Structure 1
Amino acid sequence: MEAVPLCGLALALALLLWRWWRAAAGGAGRVCVAVLGDLGRSPRMQYHALSLARHGRGVTLLGYLQNRPHGDVLRSGRIRLEPVRDLRGLRVDPKFLQYVIKVIVQAIQLLYTMLKMDQPSYILLQNPPGLPSIAVAWVACLFWRSKLIIDWHNYGYTVMSLSHGRNHPLVQIAKWYEKLFGRLADYNLCVTNAMKEDLWVNCNIKAVTLYDRPASYFKETPVELQHQLYMKLARDYEPFRPRCVAEPVGVDAERSAFTETGEQEGHVLKSRGRPALLVSSTSWTEDEDFSVLLKALVDYEGYINEGVKLPSLVCVITGKGPLKDYYNELISELHFKHIQICTPWLEAEDYPILLGSADLGVCLHKSSSGLDLPMKVVDMFGCCLPVCAIHFECLHELVKHNENGLIFRDSHELAEQLKMLFWEFPTLDSKLHSFRENLRASRQLGWDESWDQTVLPLLEQNE
């Protein structure tokens, strides 16, 4: 009887060895794009997969399947999804032990998944999260004789420090781990020049900057598509129910979004003109303090009550995350007459349509490292949507104050900016309109062009 498990182990080892020796011929060109997170909420990694597929590469897109990836990913015949099971419900005391057990289980689970997939020439890994995925991907690359590329979106240890503090032992371990195993990658990408410099100076890691760029479907939305989206949202969200999209009206015809369908006592429609559509998006985590926006909206409501000629607002905050219930509770305690707020989760195809329909975007992302840039602003700019963004160190690499948007530091400054931008809205001689015109005139490279210039040569020179 004891020989049975030994035979099974031997067969498993033989199968792995066979796959390993077979790999050299069978894996040419294939790339594993991996993230130890939700693929549906990892747009940059989806873009990598689509770019690779566009150049004829087979792609294994590996990660959690909690939310549906974009339809372009699902329809691609060259992209195969490799799901990783998300570990939930693990409850062990103390917390430190729970974290250690989770990391160990994730490492085993991820390594098993990487070793059973088709052999890749490259593993392109998102960081963060990098613990344990960087070490596991490095081991898998040794097994497959593949090259490891790390795409640095931020530092994992700085994200952890938001919850635990910079000096917590777990944060210090994560920092040491990230620097050590980050050096083992064959190539490194990063999202800003500031991060590129920091990786070199503090980690001795040489990286290439690949800025986030909007995909081709981030663009201004035609009125017909606006109407379809609002009718869809109206089934579940009150702010959209009394509104519809009609023929463009007024001086800002090309930006027509909402038109009145009738007056209701005490309803937001009773305020002057059509309401302005304000959009933000978030993962509802500690690095975004949405009380800043809520306080600014309280001030904005006060301006209207004082007689300032401002439009009513529909504020849409999209996303999922751990603090969503907390902020929804705060929102429920606000009793606005001229502002309505809703917090939907949108499908990947609907989100660009919403941005392309909006009048102003707001970003409350504060980088934990000060070295990454908010992709949500990139998407907004792709839709020629002006942005008010909260200040942090390298934000100037993306948001040009008083050119394509405004940068604020607190709720009072944001409220003043909203008042200035929406003064006698809508009008063609407003600051808001000039920002949009600047965005239209200064359209930069899209994702496809930027990727082809930055990443494609890196792959081709090594094959």
Structure 2
Amino acid sequence: MAAPYVALLVLAIGLPPLLLLIAWKRWRRGRSARHAIVVVLGDVGRSPRMQYHALSLAKWGFSVTLLGYCNSKPYDELLHNDRIRIVHLTELQRLAVGLHILQYGVKVVFQAVNLLWKLMCSEPAAYIFLQNPPGLPAIAVCWFVGCLCGSKLVIDWHNYGYSIMGLVHGPSHCLVLLAKWYEKLCGRLSHLNLCVTSEMRGDLAENWGIKAVTLYDKPASFFKETPLDLQHRLFMKLGHTYSAFRASSEPSDQAAERSTFTERDAKSGTVTRLHGRPALLVSSTSWTEDEDFSILLVALEKFEQLIQSGESLPSLVCVITGKGPLKEYYSRLIGRKHFQYIRVCTPWLEAEDYPLLLGSADLGICLHKSSSGLDLPMKVVDMFGCCLPVCAVNFRCLHELVKHEENGLVFEDAEELAAQLQMLFSKFPHPAGKLNQFRKNLQESKQLRWDESWKQTVLPLLTDT
């Protein structure tokens, strides 16, 4: 029973000084027309779209304050931008006592007070950009500050928070129903709304009464194909920690450098791909309930069986990046497998190494299903930016991104994914194979990058308001 009293204590202690600060700020100055605040009630380093917003705002003359948790390193471009200041939010660790719903209440109150304090300590802004989800309690807090300081609230709808909660608690749980009511009510308080798909835009309009503009995720400029010499450097670097990148045999010239995939000549410095090298698969995952990782494991087992039966297929190195609650569970499952021709590693890469890995890979795998069916996997956007073909599990609006048989393949289950892997790697690495045709299609598509998309879609909205 101590939890609600803790919440009340936090609120009682935090609110009076906040109100005094608010009064002082309103008396001292108004909002700054060329300042924007970007709010992520989550890990900034794992929120690329909001980092891109901050970079775009800075590029078009805004000074930017980026609020969020700093558990992972953001992009170097953001860290080195003089117009962007990162302000750390304090993360409350899960309490060990009390009912779950009371623990959640304490967390929400703490987040609300902490976010309110940080916002009021920041320079007043013309715009507050907020990522949703998570929107509880951030939407109400940002709207409140906007009312006091004359800031316009811009909500960027990546998904629905209540649908993600529903994966854990079930759709009829009281917390899920409360979150849905809150999200629907407070979501209407914004001045501008952005969303990630056309289907979400329609759903927001029809079921929520919210008019939004679709801003598709687009790759940043640093997601591109990786030159062979940089691939080699990356493989050698990763090889210090992960055996999957280390060569299984030494080069004849002891002065040469060799990874699993590449070799650098000691005299000329020329990098070449090894003959008979394995294929490199990359799957970026959040290790959560909306990604059924067992699909990939079963498909890999079937691929292994095909090689053992005599099929002319390459061995595989499967790199699965990311952090999340189910990583330890699936890592144990991987450890119990006895693959002979497949090596699996699960690194957490530095921000600057992830684009290099995608630009070096042969195929991307996406297991994202979407809790609402209305968002799109940004990991696929990044893969396409690197001209990396993708096999992606199907869901409601995936067609807005992945074009089956054009830039990749869509599958329904492990059986279909295994068949696709067999087909794609049957001629590997011959340029006449289907895999290279998909890559060529991506190279010729001249994809729009984030900067240009943001300039066309978002900048006019800011100019007009």
Please, what TM-score do these two structures have when normalized by structure 1?
A: 0.91
> Among residues 277, 281, 286, which one is paired with 1:283 in the alignment?
286
Determine if the alignment matches structure 1 residue 226 to structure 2 residue 231: yes
> Among residues 240, 248, 257, which one is paired with 1:235 in the alignment?
240
Alignment-mate amino acid for residue 17 of structure 1:
A
Alignment-mate amino acid for residue 274 of structure 2:
T
Query: Counterparts of 2:303 and 2:117 in 1: how far apart (Å)?
Result: 54
Paired residue secondary structure (1:295): helix
Conserved 8 A contact 1:162-1:287: yes
Alignment partner, residue 373 of structure 1: 376
Alignment of 1:85-234 (within 5 A): 85-234=90-239
Query: Counterparts of 2:16 and 2:100 in 1: how far apart (Å)?
Result: 38
> Among residues 361, 364, 375, which one is paired with 1:361 in the alignment?
364
Query: Counterparts of 2:173 and 2:19 in 1: how far apart (Å)?
Result: 40
Alignment-mate amino acid for residue 364 of structure 1:
L
Q: CA deviation at 1:14?
A: 5.0
Determine if the alignment matches structure 1 residue 451 to structure 2 residue 457: no
Q: CA deviation at 1:444?
A: 1.9
Query: Counterparts of 1:45 and 1:275 in 2: how far apart (Å)?
Result: 36
Query: Counterparts of 1:23 and 1:119 in 2: how far apart (Å)?
Result: 8
Paired residue secondary structure (1:62): strand
Query: Counterparts of 1:198 and 1:39 in 2: how far apart (Å)?
Result: 27
Alignment of 1:242-321 (within 5 A): 242=247, 243-244=258-259, 245-246=262-263, 259=274, 273-321=276-324
Alignment-mate amino acid for residue 105 of structure 1:
F
> What CA deviation, in whole Å up to 9, does each residue of 1:43-66 have, x standing for no partner?
000000000111111000000011
Conserved 8 A contact 1:233-1:240: yes
Query: Counterparts of 2:340 and 2:460 in 1: how far apart (Å)?
Result: 56
Q: CA deviation at 1:9?
A: 9.8
Query: Counterparts of 2:17 and 2:194 in 1: how far apart (Å)?
Result: 39
Paired residue secondary structure (1:29): strand
Task: Name the CA shift for 1:13/1:375 in 2 (closer, same or farther; >3 Å).
Answer: closer
What value does the CA root-mean-square deviation take over the aligned residues?
Answer: 1.7
Conserved 8 A contact 1:191-1:210: yes
> What CA deviation, in whole Å up to 9, does each residue of 1:170-203 have, x standing for no partner?
1111111000000000000000000000000000
Paired residue secondary structure (2:34): coil
Unmatched segments (≥5 aa) in structure 2: 1-13, 248-257, 266-270
Deviates more, 1:211-220 or 1:97-106: 97-106
> What CA deviation, in whole Å up to 9, does each residue of 1:188-236 have, x standing for no partner?
0000000000000000000000000000000000011101111110111
Conserved 8 A contact 2:37-2:127: yes
Unmatched segments (≥5 aa) in structure 1: 1-7, 249-255, 261-272
Task: Name the CA shift for 1:11/1:228 in 2 (closer, same or farther; >3 Å).
Answer: closer
> Among residues 425, 444, 449, which one is paired with 1:441 in the alignment?
444
Alignment partner, residue 268 of structure 1: none
Alignment-mate amino acid for residue 93 of structure 1:
G
Alignment-mate amino acid for residue 202 of structure 2:
E
Q: CA deviation at 1:23?
A: 3.2
Please, what TM-score do these two structures have when normalized by structure 2?
A: 0.91
Paired residue secondary structure (1:246): strand
Conserved 8 A contact 1:257-1:357: no
Paired residue secondary structure (1:28): strand
Paired residue secondary structure (2:462): helix
Conserved 8 A contact 2:217-2:450: yes
Q: CA deviation at 1:94?
A: 1.1
User: Equivalent pairs: percent with the same residue?
Assistant: 62
Determine if the alignment matches structure 1 residue 410 to structure 2 residue 386: no
> What CA deviation, in whole Å up to 9, does each residue of 1:396-453 have, x standing for no partner?
0000001100000100100000000000311111111110011011122100000000
Alignment-mate amino acid for residue 431 of structure 1:
K
Alignment-mate amino acid for residue 20 of structure 1:
R
Paired residue secondary structure (1:354): helix
Alignment of 1:31-46 (within 5 A): 31-46=36-51
Task: Name the CA shift for 1:428/1:201 in 2 (closer, same or farther; >3 Å).
Answer: same
